[in-house]
Amino acid sequence: MRKTPKHQWLGAMTAAQRVFITHQNILSPGDRIWYIPTQELQLWTGAAWVAIGPGGGAVLYTNLTPTPVTIGGIPAGSVFLNQTMQQMWDALLYPYQYPAFTSFLITGITSMEVGGSIAGAQTFTWGTTNPANVVVNSIDIVNVTDAVNLIVGTANDGTQAYNFGAGITHNVSFTHVFRIDGVNSLLGVFTRNLNIYWLYMVHYGPTLTTPLVGADITGLASSGLRTGYAGTYSFAGGGYKYICYPSAWGTATTFKDTSTGLDVAMEVPYVVLNVVTGFGVLVNYRVHRTTNILGAAIDIIVS
């Protein structure tokens, strides 16, 4: 019997017939039959019969030329060796779902006044997408600023307590960085940073007292953590309107009534030295006061 040409259709065969031709050295890769026992088309690969029609299975696909672009779930640079059609379609239509952190926090702490501390027992919390693709016990939490590993190899359960002891303190404006790391099931690392800010307090409000000393500044009706003096300040009626901020920020020059757009008359500012903050840090404050006592409430834009 002569050797069949490549990609020859050999017709329908029983199991016994298929065994017979397999052992006759007449097959070429690509030859096809209709296999009666399983009611499916089959292809001879050169080493085995594989299903290519009704009944399951897939043609084996090989292409060692890297793909030039990403298509679906197949990234650029992929090569293929003996992949079934099932594997190819799954890779294309069902890309790997990479996990990522959606949040990372220390409960109740986002910023604080200079001199404040992150101390004692605290709780880190986080969220992730696709948690099924996170390696078990692969979560680490790092104090990036101080280059210290705080928690290593914990579960991806979204919460972990940590005792900071005496704590982390900054006596000047500062950004302290923490990082959470995880490992996905492809052994890639994913991360998210948490920034905690130490900020200076701006104090403002109405009072008849003039001039102000340190205790008067910190005793004004309103205060807030800020990175600069620019912004809108709201005052109740009565008294002079004061705005006090760290002198290191420079000097505000424009004060406007938000309701009229007109300038608000202000006295020449002065500096009060060594104002004691709520955490005992000494800060020099620049003090602005309206020229006149203002009986009505007012919002003032400062720049």
CA distance 267 to 269: 6
Amino acid identity, residue 52?
Answer: I
Most confident stretch, 26-30, 55-59, 185-189: 185-189
Q: What's phi and psi for 217, nearest 5 deg?
A: -65, -50
Per-residue model confidence as pLDDT tens digits over 256-267: 999 999 999 999
**Pairing state between β 168-169 and 117-118:** antiparallel
Q: What pLDDT does 57 receive?
A: 45
Structure tokens at 85: 């059609």
Mean pLDDT, to the nearest integer, of 277-303?
97
> Alpha-carbon distance 20 to 10, whole Å?
13
- Note the pLDDT tens digit of each residue in 196-222: 999 999 999 999 999 999 999 999 999
Section 68-79 average pLDDT: 91
Q: Which pLDDT score, from 0 to 100, does residue 56 have?
A: 43
Q: 271: Cβ–Cβ under 8 A, 6 or more apart, which residues?
A: 247, 284, 285, 286, 287
pLDDT at 4 over 50: no
pLDDT at site 86: 80
Query: What's the whole-number average pLDDT of the chain?
Result: 92
pLDDT of amino acid 2: 43
Structure tokens at 88: 């190819």
* Contact assessment for residue 114 and residue 180, using Cβ atoms and an 8 Å cutoff: no
The strand ranges marked E within 155-230 are: 159-163, 168-169, 174-183, 189-207, 222-226
The residue-averaged pLDDT of 174-197 equals 97
Which domains does the chain possess?
9-93 (no CATH), 100-197 (2.60.40.10), 201-302 (no CATH)
Specify the pLDDT at position 182: 98
Write down the pLDDT at residue 59: 60
Q: How far is the C-alpha of 232 from the C-alpha of 264, rounded, in Å? A: 13
